[in-house]
Structure 1
Amino acid sequence: MNDFLLWAFAVGPVLLAEALLARYEVLAYGARWRTPLTDLPPGVPYARGAAPDSPPAAYLVYLDGIGKRRVRDSRDGGQLVKALLAGAPELRVLGQVQPYSPLADPLADRPVWKWLRRRIGLLLFLHNVVQIFVAADHRYRPLYNRAVGSQIATQLRLAGYRPDSGVPVVLLSYSGGAQVAGGAVAELHRQLRSPLLLITLGGFHNGANDLTHADHLHRLTSTSDRIERLGTWIFPQRWRLFRGSAWNRADRAGKITTHRLDPATHVGPRSYISPTAELPDGRSHLDRTADTVIALIRAHHGATVIAGATEEGVR
């Protein structure tokens, strides 16, 4: 008990400071005090997979969960990205976007956070958790959405994406990344005018972001995912009672399809991205998740090609 009180007194002020300062980045972006970062560290490509000289089947932007704190992939996110690249070489994949930084500033590269990581590593995760709620807050959401949507659009251009090219952009998000993915839709449509497909994996979000300009949203979930289910409980916009919310409007419009990946959990040895947890068919949870994502993208790409051909025929 004494150890707990000592820890609480030591960490409590830091948590309070984090809660008060969490809005700084989005306000700094809005006031133009700081310019969002665009350059990547030496040796880090803007995209992996298909070459940009001939249009790939799609550009996939992976928005990681709260473990994302550097340009390079997190451990779990990196496993998923590698599986997607191996299974779908026709994709051009970006994993460097910072979902929890409107200024695109990797958390692990900041001096104060380097110091904290060596002493109180849990705070790195708590920082990103707080950022999810800042992104969901109606006072800051429009600005946060514009900031991260612009960050994604910039990274896509640097990776070779051409606006108005008709090449689909897929936003694959894990956990809290879903809040950012939904928020980026309007800005991506404004800047790139690309077909947009959203795939959420255990998505934790408030359901308030407008999905009008998204072609479709595929919700990958599991009855064993308590964290994803928590989001459906604590955010009223996800309740069926609030029929006018953006989430429920999109659902009634047929834009949301739910896919069950039972018995996967949100995190841990039986998570969606676990390479060791096995299914009855012999595949790992990681293999099934990657196979599902690839199948959804390929189906969407086929539908996009058919729609484009039909439109050309009408002309």
Structure 2
Amino acid sequence: MNIKNGKELVRRCKEEGLSIGEFILKQEMEESGLSREEIYDRMLDNLRVMAFSTTKGVGEKVISVSGLIGGDAYRLGKYLESGKSVTGRTMVKAMSYALSCSEVNASMGKIVACPTAGACGILPAVIMTMKEEHQVEEKDLVMGLFASAGIGAIIAQNATISGAEGGCQAECGSAAAMAAAAVVEIMGGTPDMCLHAGAIVFKNTLGLVCDPIGGLVEVPCAKRNAAGAVSAMTAADMVLAGVQSRIPFDDTVTAMYSVGKLMPEALRETGIGGLAGTKTGKKLKKEIFGDKDGKSKNKMNDDTFDAEKTGE
């Protein structure tokens, strides 16, 4: 994408009278040489994978290969049916969908890495919740995904989307910023409003470390996906109500990157510090990868494990 930053993206969208989604689709056509229909259909395929991964874990208990996570999306789905939720139907559904994606990912199922596998639940959960709770048409969902792709590209160009480089703020933070922008686009917000939503998300996730137990993208990653989905939707609501970020989107991306560089290695996906370094974190790692004699107590080291059994 030949756009340097968010400020330029907004300017170009205004000049051409396009939403971010339409502008990114046009850019992709110019750069790839593919037709609008071909590019649209590819994004539609992504949407269909998202539909699968967000609902599989809600309809049945999906357990990760390690056994660390599983069944939480199903539990939230049942809780939603009770009608007793504190935060309401929309938020609980988004959380359950985000957890489902994380569980499908950890069980070797098919997901869309948006922008990474570790943050794969946030954008799909928000998009599918918008479809069901606000009766958003398929074409509008697809354009929301194009808008999110544009935001993600800007983040990747100017900072990082890697937890190993920038902590979880770079993964779940970026995914939530992308999702917030997608919601604003879907709800008819301007390109400038989309970036305000992304900026608010980054301000609220700044400094989030990446500390997976045993180095696996499961704990605390799955629940951070649920929190990221909620963060995206609340940021979108604020912006749609007229709230703006005093710190521009591009500055929040710069801040995220600088904070990531300041993080010690132990807090950047190494499975050493943070929650991974706690007594319980170390115990769980030992249970997954083997006892002191190196004998595995878990199917993570079972050569007979068949990924197809937990796939789509």
Is TM (by shorter chain) over 0.5?
A: no
Which structure carries more relative contact order (alpha carbon 8 Å, separation 6+)? 2
Q: Per residue, is there more strand in 1 or in 2?
A: 1
Q: Per residue, is there more helix in 1 or in 2?
A: 2
Using structure 1 for the length normalisation, give the TM-score: 0.30
Using structure 2 for the length normalisation, give the TM-score: 0.30
